[in-house]
Amino acid sequence: MVDASSAYPSGCTLIGIKYSPWSYRARWGLDLKGVSYTYREYLPMLGEPLLRLQTGKLSGKLTVPVLIHGDLVLTDSLDILRHADRMGTEGPALFPAGHDGEVHRVWWLARDVLVAGRTRTTRRVLANRQALEENVPFKLPRPLRRTMVPLTIAGANYLLDKHGESTDDTTLEARMAEALEGLRQQLDGGEYFVGSGLTAADLAVVSALQFVKPMSERYIRLGKANAECWNEFRLAGAFEDLIAWRDDIVAKHR
C-alpha cells in the first residue's frame, strides 16, 4: 500500500465531493466527534488516477469519501463513521453499545434510497442543460461555462456508468418508496431512530433524504437547477413527515 500520509498534513485527510450525501455524513460524523481533519475535494473522473495513487487501490471500484489516517485508508462512509466514533472524544456515540443491529437495519434502508436516488437524479441532471452548466467545476463567466458542459456531461456519464443501475425509473422510485416506508415505521414518530440520541442511523437517513428533497443551501449547495433535479416531488409529498424530521435534526445537530 502507498503511504499516502506523506502527501498530507499530519492527522486525518478526508477526500470527498461537496454535494455528495455520502461525503456529507462522513464530514458530519467527524465534526460531531471532534476529530480534526483536512478536507480535499475530489473531481469525478479527472481525479481518479491521483485518488488511486493516494489510496494504493490501483484496481477495482473506488469511491469517495475516503479517509486517510497515517497508513489507514477507509473507503466507505460506514467505516469512516466507526473510525470517528473510536477516535473522537466529543459528541454522542454514533454506534451505541448493544444497538448495532438497529443501526445497521436503518443504514441499509437508507442505502436503498441513496442508490436508487443517485441513478434517478443523475439521469435528470444529464437531461438538464442548466444543471450541467451549474456543475462546471471551475469559476468561469457563463459563456465560458457553456463551453465546458461536455466535461460535466462526461463526468455525469462516468458516475452513471460506475454507480448507476440499469433499472427503469419507475421501479427505482418504487424501491425508494418502499425503503422510505420502512424508515417511517422504524422511526415511529420518535425523535431519533435508535435510542434516545443522535447515532449513525440518523446521519444515514438525513443524507439519504437529500435525494428526496434537498436540504437548505446553507448545508449543501447544489444550485437552483440541480436542486430541482434532486427533488423527488411525489416522494417528498408522500413522506413530508420524514422531511420535517430531517430538517429538525439538521437544525439541532448541524
| Length of the chain counted residue by residue | 254
Question: Per the domain annotation, does 182 fall within a domain?
Answer: yes
Q: Are residues 118 and 223 in the same domain?
A: yes
On whether residue 45 sits in a domain, the answer given is yes
Domain that holds residue 47: 4-87
Order of all β-strands in the sheet with 66-69: 37-41, 12-16, 66-69, 72-74
Q: Is residue 94 part of a domain?
A: no
C-alpha distance from residue 94 to each of 29, 32, 67, 212, 219 (Å)? 8, 9, 17, 24, 20
Nearest-angstrom CA–CA distance, 59 and 44? 16
In a domain, 172, yes or no: yes
pLDDT in tens, 161-210: 988 888 999 999 999 999 999 999 999 999 999 999 999 999 999 999 99
Here the cell at position 78 is: 460506514
pLDDT in tens, 114-171: 999 999 999 999 999 999 999 998 777 777 778 889 989 998 998 889 888 889 999 9
User: What's the mean pLDDT in 217-225?
Assistant: 95
- How many structural domains are present in the chain? 2
Tell me the pLDDT tens digit for each residue of 20-49.
Answer: 999 999 999 999 999 999 999 998 888 899
Grid cell of 64 as nine digits: 469517495
- Do residues 190 and 124 share a domain? yes
- In DSSP terms, which residues pair with 151 in a beta bridge? none
In this structure, are 30 and 138 located in the same domain? no
Q: Is residue 93 part of a domain?
A: no
How far is residue 175's CA from residue 10's CA, in Å, rounded to a whole number? 43
* 65 lies in the same domain as 107: no
Residue 106 resides in a domain: yes
Same domain for 22 and 118: no
Beta bridge partners of 119: none
142 and 175 share one domain:
yes
Instruction: For residues 216 and 231, give the distance between their C-alpha atoms in angstroms, rounded to a whole number.
Output: 12
Handedness of CA 230, 236, 239, 243 (dihedral sign): positive
CA nearest to 229, candidates 137, 141, 129: 129
Q: Which residues pair with 39 in a beta bridge?
A: 14
pLDDT tens figures, 37-91 = 999 999 888 889 999 998 988 888 888 999 999 999 999 999 999 999 999 999 9
Q: Are 166 and 110 found together in one domain?
A: yes
> Is residue 95 a part of any domain in this protein?
no
Give residue 33's pLDDT.
97
- What's the whole-model pTM score? 0.91
For residues 107 and 193, state if they share a domain.
Answer: yes
- Residue 217 CA, distance from chain mean position: 15
What's the chain's average pLDDT? 92
What is the per-residue pLDDT for 147? 86
Q: Are 156 and 184 within one domain? A: yes
Domain boundary among 55, 87, 119: 87
Do 62 and 127 lie in a common domain?
Answer: no
Task: Give φ, ψ of 14 to 5 degrees.
Answer: -110, 125
The reply to whether 31 and 140 lie within a common domain is no
Residues 22, 69 within the same domain: yes
Number of neighbours of residue 123 by Cβ within 10 angstroms: 16
Look up the CATH number of the domain holding residue 195. Answer: 1.20.1050
Residue ending a domain, choose from 31, 58, 87: 87
Residue 224 within a domain: yes
Last residue of some domain: 87, 117, 152?
87
